Amino acid sequence: MEIKIMKNILDRNQNRADEVRALLKDKNVVMVNIISSPGAGKTTLLERTCGELKEKLRLGVIEGDITTDRDAQRLKKYNIPIVVINTEGGCHLDSHSISKVLGSFDLDNLDMLFVENVGNLICPSQFDLGETFKLAVISTTEGDDKPAKYPMLFREARAVILNKIDLLPYTNFSFESFRRDLRKINPSVPLFSLSCTRGDGLDEWFEWIIDQSHK
Amino acid sequence: MHELKIAEDLKDIVLEAASKGNLKKVTRVNVTFGQMVQIVPEIFQFAFTECVRDTSAEGAEVTIEIVPVKMTCNECGTEFIVKDNMFACHKCGSADLKIINGRELFVKSIEGE
């Protein structure tokens, strides 16, 4: 006997993500879901970005971390609300975990909420958190083939950051090949090439991200 | 390993449907996955088998249909299959596209007795 079901498997996640998105829209909060491999520089990017933006926008951070709160510790000095979600081995955040911690923020007094997802290029791309947009971060030391290997993330990201450009001379990363693959997948996505440690390219990124809060 | 979380959610849907439909044993689950979701069928079957151990769906086989990525052009209306990660309209070259297929994580039916 066959029983028809005809249902999306991730309906539960999607429904909760839709609720989160509606709530944030109502409160005028922009939520940025930051996705990258481990070690691409998400936390360093957040340190730089929070340092620059904290006087201009009311910020909050959700730190997705497998077991520690080390990333959150690094952001403490900016004196902004931070909540850690430990996934206890889970390779991505989902909309239920986000929905649970949103109550810890004063959403009426928030402009932008950064979510640092668990370091992983594939799993976080599948789970809608209710974010306003996804931000893909990759670094030159990972190789230039990431867009071709993980097209879904690069297709759906509203912006792409290429970090660690100061290390370009020491890698075999081909910027041309990277750009060509990225443009095939997402011809119009803004690309920011920067070094979060040395500071190259950050001003252009700050300008763009501040602009997103006014949209 | 996004396969595991997806397999867990699928398990709940399958067991609920089996109980509603008075199935004592689920032998097969028919699903459709979009190519863009990058599910590895062997890993998915393995994850699902582990999830449904000691349930009415223990040992059920998952039949996975992989759907290619299909887009429609917002400029000229052409529909086309995306090959080699080339996200541009085959007719007019526009990058203003809407996805039709390729992102599915869909359960069609279950079989059993």
- Chain B touched by A186 (CB under 8 Å): yes
Q: What is the pLDDT of residues A59-107, one digit of tens each?
A: 999 999 888 888 889 999 999 999 999 988 788 999 999 999 999 999 9
Model confidence at A193: pLDDT above 80: yes
Nearest to B100 by CA among B71, B62, B60, B63: B71
Residue A115 has what pLDDT? Answer: 98
Question: What token pair was written down for A180?
Answer: 């060509």
Smallest Cβ–Cβ distance between B86 and the set A5, A127, A184 belongs to A184
Helix (H) or strand (E) holding B65: strand B61-67
Nearest to A9 by CA among B57, B62, B17, B31: B31
Q: What is the pLDDT of residues A103-132, one digit of tens each?
A: 999 999 999 999 999 999 988 999 999 999
Residue A72 has what pLDDT? Answer: 87
Write down all domains in chain B, each with its CATH number in brackets: 2-112 (3.30.2320.80)
Smallest Cβ–Cβ distance between A9 and the set B6, B21, B88 belongs to B6
Residues of A numbered 129-158 whose beta carbons fall under 8 angstroms of chain B's beta carbons: which are they? 147-148, 150-152, 155
Planar angle of CA A4, B103, A152, nearest 5 degrees: 160
Task: Look at residue A56 and give its three-state secondary structure.
Answer: coil
Compute the count of residue pairs across chains A and B with CB atoms less than 8 Å apart. Answer: 92
B interface with A, Cβ–Cβ < 8 A, is 1-2, 5-6, 9-10, 13-14, 17-18, 21, 23, 31, 36-38, 84-88, 95, 103-113
Q: Which residue of B has its CA nearest to A94?
A: B5
Q: What is the pLDDT of residues B50-97, one digit of tens each?
A: 999 999 999 999 999 999 999 999 999 999 999 988 899 999 999 899
Contact (CB<8Å) B23/A3: yes
Residues of A numbered 153-182 whose beta carbons fall under 8 angstroms of chain B's beta carbons: which are they? 155, 181
d(CA A3, CA A142): 46
| Torsion of the alpha carbons at A81, A25, A118 and B50, rounded to the nearest 10 | 130
d(CA A177, CA A63): 32
Q: What is the DSSP letter of B69?
A: P
Model confidence at A215: pLDDT above 80: no
Q: Which residues contact A25 (CB under 8 A, 6 or more apart)?
A: none
d(CA A84, CA A67): 10
In A, which residues are within 8 Å of B101 by CB distance?
none
B86 backbone dihedrals φ, ψ, rounded to 5°? -95, 100
Q: Which residues contact B82 (CB under 8 A, 6 or more apart)?
A: B68, B69, B70, B71, B102
d(CA B29, CA A2): 9
Residue A214 has what pLDDT? Answer: 81
- What one-letter code names the amino acid at A90? G
With beta carbons less than 8 A apart as the criterion, state whether B3 and B39 touch.
Answer: yes
pTM of the model: 0.93
- Chain B touched by A2 (CB under 8 Å): yes
Write down all domains in chain A, each with its CATH number in brackets: 18-212 (3.40.50.300)
Nearest to A94 by CA among A11, A13, A10: A13
